[in-house]
Every structure is written in structure tokens, then in C-alpha cells.
Amino acid sequence: MKLDELLETYAYNPQQKNQLKKANKKGLELSYLQDPRLDWEQMREIALALEYGVDPSSFCNPDIPSENMEDIRNTMFENEGVYKKIHEDLQDKKRKRFQKWILTGFITFFVLLIIMWQKPLISSILNDLELVLTEQRVSVSYSRLSSLNMIDFVERYDQEGILELPSVPNGVGEYVLDYALKNQSKNVTRQLTINVIDDIKPVITLKSDIINIKVKSNFNARDYIVSAVDEIAGDVMASLEIDTNVDTLKVGHYTVSYTVKDTSGNIANALLYVNVIANESNTSSGSTSSGSANNNTSSGNTNSNTSSGSTSSGSSNSNTSTSNYQPEGKKFLVSIYETFDKCLEECQAYIQREMAKGFVGTAKAQPILQDGVYIGYEAIFTKN
């Protein structure tokens, strides 16, 4: 009979029901326990006998007190070696438990050993890689590219990973650059967009900064241009604009302004100072002398001796010579004038003063390079 049927058929007290439920849970034969006259302690003794494979039929009697049932059960356990088996089972359980502990300890040690040995790999698997950029989009001037360091755009990153930086852009335009952070098991990338802006002015190179020309000479401002070059666009001579007020018919000081603008709007200027000077001439005038007429008259004998005067006219010689004045070169150093702009200003002023003294030729302010460092300007004069 099943447990539900027993509980519906007989009126058991709570303690009896508890014993029946325990026995049913262990899979014991409930027919030995179904007699409602058995108290819960008697049921317990019968269930113990069934649990260890001992037939309880000899003491399944409600009239036998539970204490006597216990004595009978103990005697039967001893006769059938139940206690010995229980002891052996306990020893076996202890042995298995010990073996389990040893195996667990060995496995734990082995796992810890692997963790210590492969700590970087395990850490890389378990932990996320962090790579954070300062910005996702930046604008950079072209002139800054030579000193640009791509690590400057990294706010922070996992130091245990290997950070791969992109190459520095090499021209004007928009670049999408990849930053990569790698470890043994993961790879993280971040993108940075850099807009490189052209901020480099074109360079106008002249043959000279200051020139002297004689009055009525031919003058073409383009003849004094060496080049007009832009870092990005290359030759920009076609875009060069010239503003001049030079009048070669009049002695005076004039300025030619050269201007060029690149496609990015960067403007470059250069100035040519033109001194129109007068021609120098030296003229010598000849002298005129006349011979005198002598008349001698003698009485009775008249001799007329007339010598016609001899006239010598000096020839008039016009002699024009060019000035041989040669200015001396001079250096203007930053150590004295403090700034390059001041050096250039003083150098150009010196050139203008020397040119005004009649030097016929060209002059320029030449930067002075010493041991790879610019230290000032030198005034250089070249005679035509």
C-alpha cells in the first residue's frame, strides 16, 4: 500500500506520519509499518532494521515495547554483522573523503600553479582592455606635424597591453587613424580623425633686397624674382602680384611689393628697395691762345714782316666715370640686437645707407648659419 493510501486509511498521529514519510523517502517497505497501533518509536526500530537489510518480522508486534524492539534489533545486527558493515562503511567513507580531499588539494595546487604561470594570459582573458583617447576629432596645423606625438591624444590605456600608435600624417587633409591595444587574448581599437590645416605661407625669394640703378635704365620688377614656392602647392609664380611705383626717369627711392596667396589663403610678402641714382660726369674745357702780329718799319727800307697770329684752341674733353665705391660687408648678430627682426631691420638700414653713397650693384641681407643655428644677418654687396 502506498503512503497516500495509508494516510487516508488510518488515523496516524503526527509523529507516526513523520516516520512513515521518512521510510517512504528511503524506499523501505511500508507494510511493516502500517499498523496504526505501533507508536512512532516502534516504527523507528522497524525502519532501522529494514534500512540495514534485516528482516523485522520477528518483532513487528505492537505489544513489544520499543525498548525491547531495540534490544532485538541490536542482537540481530550483531549476529548478521551489521555493525561491522556499518563500521567498514564508515571507514570506507572516511577513506574516500580523505582521498577526495587529497585529490581536491592536488587539483587546487595544480590550478594555482597554472594561474601563477599563465597569470598574464588569464588576466588578459578575464579583464577588459581599456583604451581611451582625449578626443575623437581634432584639427592640427601643418607646421605642427614635425613635432606631433601621437601618444598625446591618448588619455589612458591598460599598461599591461601593447599600444600601437598610428603614423603622423604627412600632408594637408583629413585622416582617420587607428589606435590599437593588444594583449595575449584581446585586441581593442579606437579611431581618431585628424584634420590637418595648411598654415604655411609661401616663400618669395628675391635676388636682392636693395638695388641701385641709374636714371633712365631699363627696369623690370620680375627680373629680380628667384622663386615663389608654397610648401603644399609647389610653384606659385603664376599667382604672384607685383605693386611698384618705380620711375626710372626720376632720381629717388622706390619700393616694389611682391605678394602671393596660396589656395588655403596664406599670404606671403616681399619688398625690393630700388634706388634710382643720377649718372656722374666730369667735363674739362680747352683754352684758346692767339699769336701777336709784329710790324717793323725802317726809313728808307721798309720791311714789312707780318707774322699772322697762330690760334690754338684747346679741345674740349668730356670724361664720364662710374663711381668705384665698394661698401664693406657687415654682420648683425642676435647676441647684440637681441631679436632676429631687429637684426634684419638694422642690416637693411645699413644696406640702404651704403647704397645711397653711390654704389652701383646689388645688396642683400644674408642669414648667418653657424653650427646649425641662425645667429643673425650679414650685409653682402655685389658689384655689377
User: Is 80 a residue whose pLDDT tops 80?
Assistant: yes
**pLDDT at res. 281:** 55
- What value does the mean pLDDT of the chain take? 83
Helices 40-51 and 14-25, interaxial angle, to 10°?
Answer: 10
178 vs 159: CA distance, rounded Å:
18
Q: Tell me, which fold does domain 203-280+322-383 have in CATH?
A: Immunoglobulin-like (2.60.40)
**pLDDT at res. 161:** 83
- H-helix segments, the chain: 3-9, 14-25, 40-51, 66-79, 82-117, 119-126, 334-337, 340-355
User: Is 300 a residue whose pLDDT tops 70?
Assistant: no
**CATH 2.60.40.10 matches 128-197:** yes
Q: What is the mean pLDDT of residues 168-195?
A: 90
**pLDDT at res. 11:** 84
Q: How much of the chain exceeds pLDDT 90, in percent?
A: 46
Residue 160 — pLDDT band, cuts 50, 70, 90?
Answer: confident
**Nearest alpha-carbon partner for 53 in 90, 92, 82:** 82
Q: Which residues are paired to 311 by β-bridges?
A: 290
| Residue 59 DSSP symbol | G
| Residue 172 DSSP symbol | S
Q: Which residues are paired to 204 by β-bridges?
A: 228
Task: Copy the grid coordinates of residue 5.
Answer: 493510501
Rounded to the nearest 10°, the torsion over CA 348, 354, 359, 362 is: -10
How many of the other CB atoms lie within 10 Å of CB of 214? 15
| Residue 201 DSSP symbol | P
**pLDDT at res. 280:** 67
User: Is 254 a residue whose pLDDT tops 80?
Assistant: yes
**pLDDT at res. 323:** 57
pLDDT in tens, 332-358: 998 899 887 888 889 989 998 888 887
How many of the other CB atoms lie within 10 Å of CB of 227? 13
How many of the other CB atoms lie within 10 Å of CB of 45? 23
169 touches 192 (CB < 8 A): no
Residue 122 — pLDDT band, cuts 50, 70, 90?
Answer: low
User: Is 82 a residue whose pLDDT tops 50?
Assistant: yes
Could you tell me how far CA 158 lies from the centroid of its own chain? 18
User: Is 65 a residue whose pLDDT tops 90?
Assistant: yes
User: Is 54 a residue whose pLDDT tops 60?
Assistant: yes
User: Is 307 a residue whose pLDDT tops 80?
Assistant: no
User: Is 260 a residue whose pLDDT tops 80?
Assistant: yes
User: Is 45 a residue whose pLDDT tops 80?
Assistant: yes
> For residues 61 and 316, which has the higher predicted lDDT (pLDDT)?
61
**Nearest alpha-carbon partner for 194 in 136, 249, 241:** 136
Q: How much of the chain exceeds pLDDT 70, in percent?
A: 86
pLDDT in tens, 8-19: 888 889 999 999
**pLDDT at res. 99:** 92
Residues 117-121: contacts with CB within 8 Å, 24+ apart? 120/160, 120/183, 120/184, 121/184, 121/185
Q: What is the mean pLDDT of residues 259-281?
A: 88
> For residues 87 and 72, which has the higher predicted lDDT (pLDDT)?
72
